[in-house]
Structure 1
Amino acid sequence: MTQRNVVFPPGRQALYERYRYSPAVRSNGFLFVSGQVGSTEDGSPLEDLDAQVRLAFTNLNAILAAAGASFDDVVDVTVFIVDPESHFERIWENVVPQFWGSAPFPNVTCIGVTWLAGFRFEIKVIAKLPEGHGE
């Protein structure tokens, strides 16, 4: 196997090293981003759900920017929500439009889960890297 081409956003490398995973990996012109949550630099969750979602997108955008991409380059989104029946509409109406951009939108899969290690929202994406920013 070839060595992974890992992308680290500024300020969070210690967190990824502590939990032994890469925030994102470039491969064949794509960027595969690990699930991002609303965690502070020490890894702790924000209490407020809207603040968690905003910070998850902020963390995601920092990774995309470190790879030379933006949310406009995202082609695939997977969202995990604890208790989506209670929270999905609130998240999708109040917070997501601030980060999502305009149509055409990426494809989305939303999965309801019972546990996210103290978090209530997680987002992972695959982005097509702009020319010159691929592997």
Structure 2
Amino acid sequence: MTQRDVVFPPGRQALYERNRYSPAIKSNGFLFVSGQVGSKEDGSPEPDLEDQVRTAFNNLNAILNEAGCTFDDVIDVTVFIVNPEERFEKIWKVVPEFWGNAPHPTVTAVGVTWLYGFQFEIKVIAKLPEATAN
């Protein structure tokens, strides 16, 4: 079995161990980040949708930073939205606070019916900085 090079953000390792998954894995010059939701440190959701999106991005940024990346290193994004017809505009109003300048990463948006009590989730693939010369 291949050894996984796992990245844990500060203060959240217990949450990932309890739920039995890795927050991110480094592999072949890339960082594969598990879906991040707007959870507080105890795992509970932020009640306000915009705060939930901001917290999801902050949780994502903590993982990126721990791996030596920023959102500028992100090349592919997948977002999951519960009831996107109702929530997309409110969510996408928050995104520019974190997204950065063009060129933007690729994006796939998926409407879902359930996200474990959350309304928004974001997962990304980033190019690790030491691998950008490849």
Q: TM-score with structure 1 length normalisation?
A: 0.96
Q: Which residue of 2 aligns with 1:61?
A: 61
Q: Which runs of 5+ in 2 are unaligned?
A: none
Rounded Cα–Cα distance in structure 2 between residues aligned with 1:35 and 1:96: 16
Q: Which residue of 2 aligns with 1:97?
A: 96
Q: Following superposition of structure 1 onto structure 2, how do residues 1-135 of structure 1 map, counting pairs within 5 Å?
A: 1-93=1-93, 95-131=94-130
Q: Report the CA distance between 1:131 and its aligned residue.
A: 1.2
Rounded Cα–Cα distance in structure 2 between residues aligned with 1:126 and 1:91: 20
Q: Which runs of 5+ in 1 are unaligned?
A: none
Residue-by-residue CA offset, 1:105-131 (whole Å, 9 max, x unaligned): 000000000000000000000000001
Identity %: 77
Rounded Cα–Cα distance in structure 2 between residues aligned with 1:20 and 1:131: 28
Query: What one-letter code is carried by the residue in structure 2 that aligns with 1:101?
Result: G
Rounded Cα–Cα distance in structure 1 between residues aligned with 2:36 and 2:5: 19
Q: Report the CA distance between 1:132 and its aligned residue.
A: 6.5
Query: What one-letter code is carried by the residue in structure 2 that aligns with 1:80?
Result: F
Q: In angstroms, what is the RMSD of aligned CA positions?
A: 1.1
Rounded Cα–Cα distance in structure 2 between residues aligned with 1:101 and 1:54: 14
Rounded Cα–Cα distance in structure 2 between residues aligned with 1:28 and 1:91: 32
Say how many residue pairs are matched.
Answer: 132
Rounded Cα–Cα distance in structure 2 between residues aligned with 1:2 and 1:122: 28
Rounded Cα–Cα distance in structure 1 between residues aligned with 2:131 and 2:66: 13
Query: What one-letter code is carried by the residue in structure 1 that aligns with 2:30?
Result: F
Rounded Cα–Cα distance in structure 2 between residues aligned with 1:111 and 1:50: 18
